[in-house]
A = this chain, B = another copy of it.
Amino acid sequence: MNPYDELESRFARQGAIEEAIQFLHWDAAAMMPRGGAASRAGQLATLRVVAHEELTRPDMADLLAAAEEDAGNRLDQWQRANLREMRRRWRHAAAVPADLVAALSEARSQSEGAWRAARPADDFAAALPGLERVLELTREAAAAKAAALGTGPYEALLDQYEPGGRVAEIDRLFADIEAFLPALLAAALERQAARPAPPEPHGPFPPAAQRRAARMLVERVGFDFAHGRLDESAHPFTGGTPDDVRLTTRYDAADPAKALMAALHECGHGLYKRGLPATWRRQPVGAARGMAVHESQSLLVEMQMCRSRAFAGFAAPLLSEIFGGEATAWQPEALYRRQIRVRPGPIRVDADEVTYPAHVILRYRLERAMVAGDLLPRDLPAAFNDGLKAAIGVTPPSDRDGVLQDIHWYDGYWGYFPTYTLGAVIAAQLFAAARAALPGLDDAIGGGQFAALLGWLKRHIHEKGSLFATGELIEAATGTPLAVAAFERHLRQRYLA
């Protein structure tokens, strides 16, 4: 076997193990009884070690070098991109010594456990030692990865979630957002306050009916239940594999919109996963491009499409039929206006799309400062509260609803936060391009016809897998480099027009 083919065969095997990890993780969140937690942790840890060993076998460096040597002669575009992604994955895996991998894994588990207890108790001090330990080891890993990747330490962490991501570009995009957002938020709130609030439907909304509604909506939007499921978990997420996509949502009997929008958000992730190039299953080039593009697909479905006036026209009569109750509350315009309500608050995951970027930009700056050593975890609560107050005028009423609200830092997901807002920016740019390419798109959405949009996304994003860098992918799909212009236009149109 030539070196490239040998690598493909190794990554296929490694990919199958990664898929197994996906399902064990989904099961832990959606199915597992609480008594299974300890043994599940052991199963996942073992499979992760095995997957890591597969990726860092002693001869991998030679195989990669040999395959790269004659890549120009024998490999086509997809194979070359695959080899590039193999190299990237290997760099991440091989950069960190095995004992640091183990120490970090252990520290993340312990810290996450401490956080689970500390958050409801509103006890930041109880979570602090774990956070400090995770940060210490994360900085060590970041330094090792930075040396291997030729980036800065924060960029090396970012690269795990957003391959090729650069702080200079994120700084520029986030500065552009900050240049218009405060004034836009103030204007949107003023305009919203000047109008009567939309009527509210009154529950209860039984979970069984919500489940029916969620299933119907994601199926109409294009989710294929022959290749996926929709279940419940404490935190909605998308797991599984391209051929077997596992969505979850959660049901609040008082408010069906939460479960439905969460299901549609995850549906966007799921459509992306399902649409990844079928010929490249389990190969690095067949994987999603990164978490920014992934989030763009969920936000395009949720924010751009499903919170649009057109979608409200489609969904309102269906929801009225399922939930019954007051007819006025299920008028399309009432539904639409509830879906685009702006309400600055302390909690990121409950934030509307206007204030959401402020939550993310704050976290991005704080985590960069912590990775750089310029901010200590013990000083984080004050920095967090001051930052949120400065950004959207809200002071968290407690650490529970402040610095303890997100799992990310405690569980070791450093460098992940910026992908949320990058995703929102990409989603707006893609949706604008799709609208330009597909005349009558709003009418189609209003009529419950989503195939044309989904086809456009498949062709331009899903089926490209990791063939291109994020910037190339977006520019090829939309004709312009990634910028915040479309996002700003979208917000102005929706909240101020």
Interface residues of A (CB under 8 A from B): 13, 16-17, 19-20, 23-24, 27, 31-36, 38-40, 42-43, 45-47, 49-50, 224-229, 240-244, 281-282
Cβ of A224: which chain B residues have Cβ within 8 Å of it?
35
Q: Assess whether B17 is in contact with A50, with CB atoms less than 8 Å apart.
A: yes
Query: Quick one: given A39-B241, A39-B243, A241-B39, are A24 and B20 in contact (CB under 8 Å)?
Result: yes
Query: Quick one: given A39-B241, A50-B50, are A27 and B33 in contact (CB under 8 Å)?
Result: no
Q: Assess whether B34 is in contact with A31, with CB atoms less than 8 Å apart.
A: no
Q: Assess whether B36 is in contact with A227, with CB atoms less than 8 Å apart.
A: yes
- Give the secondary structure class of A's interface: helix
Shortest Cβ distance from residue A282 to the other chain B in the assembled complex, whole angstroms: 8
- Give CA–CA (A45, B46) in the complex, Å: 17
Cβ of A34: which chain B residues have Cβ within 8 Å of it?
226
Shortest Cβ distance from A21 into B: residue: B20
Could you say which of B33, B241, B281 contacts A225, with CB atoms under 8 Å apart?
Answer: B33
- Give CA–CA (A16, B242) in the complex, Å: 25
Could you say which of B13, B36, B226 contacts A35, with CB atoms under 8 Å apart?
Answer: B226
- Give CA–CA (A434, B23) in the complex, Å: 41
Copies of this chain present:
2
Could you say which of B24, B228, B240, B244 contacts A23, with CB atoms under 8 Å apart?
Answer: B24
- Give CA–CA (A240, B13) in the complex, Å: 24
Q: Assess whether A17 is in contact with B46, with CB atoms less than 8 Å apart.
A: yes
Cβ of A43: which chain B residues have Cβ within 8 Å of it?
16-17, 19-20, 23
Cβ of A24: which chain B residues have Cβ within 8 Å of it?
20, 23-24
Cβ of A240: which chain B residues have Cβ within 8 Å of it?
36
Could you say which of B35, B38, B40, B243 contacts A38, with CB atoms under 8 Å apart?
Answer: B243
Cβ of A17: which chain B residues have Cβ within 8 Å of it?
43, 46-47, 50
Shortest Cβ distance from residue A267 to the other chain B in the assembled complex, whole angstroms: 15
- Give CA–CA (A43, B18) in the complex, Å: 9
Cβ of A50: which chain B residues have Cβ within 8 Å of it?
17, 50
Cβ of A19: which chain B residues have Cβ within 8 Å of it?
39, 42-43
- Give CA–CA (A45, B19) in the complex, Å: 12
Shortest Cβ distance from A274 into B: residue: B35
Cβ of A23: which chain B residues have Cβ within 8 Å of it?
23-24, 27, 43
Shortest Cβ distance from residue A255 to the other chain B in the assembled complex, whole angstroms: 26
Q: Assess whether B36 is in contact with A20, with CB atoms less than 8 Å apart.
A: no
Cβ of A244: which chain B residues have Cβ within 8 Å of it?
32-33, 35-36, 39-40
Query: Quick one: given A13-B46, A20-B43, A24-B23, are A35 and B243 in contact (CB under 8 Å)?
Result: yes
Shortest Cβ distance from residue A247 to the other chain B in the assembled complex, whole angstroms: 12
- Give CA–CA (A13, B16) in the complex, Å: 18
- Give CA–CA (A226, B32) in the complex, Å: 9
Cβ of A27: which chain B residues have Cβ within 8 Å of it?
23, 27
- Give CA–CA (A36, B50) in the complex, Å: 23
The 6 A-B residue pairs with the shortest CB-CB distance in the complex, in nearest-first order: A36-B244, A35-B227, A16-B46, A35-B226, A39-B243, A20-B43
Q: List 27 A-B contacts (CB under 8 A).
A: A16-B45, A16-B47, A17-B47, A17-B50, A19-B39, A20-B24, A20-B46, A23-B23, A23-B24, A23-B27, A23-B43, A24-B24, A27-B27, A33-B227, A33-B228, A34-B226, A35-B226, A35-B227, A35-B243, A36-B241, A38-B243, A39-B241, A39-B242, A39-B243, A40-B244, A42-B282, A50-B50
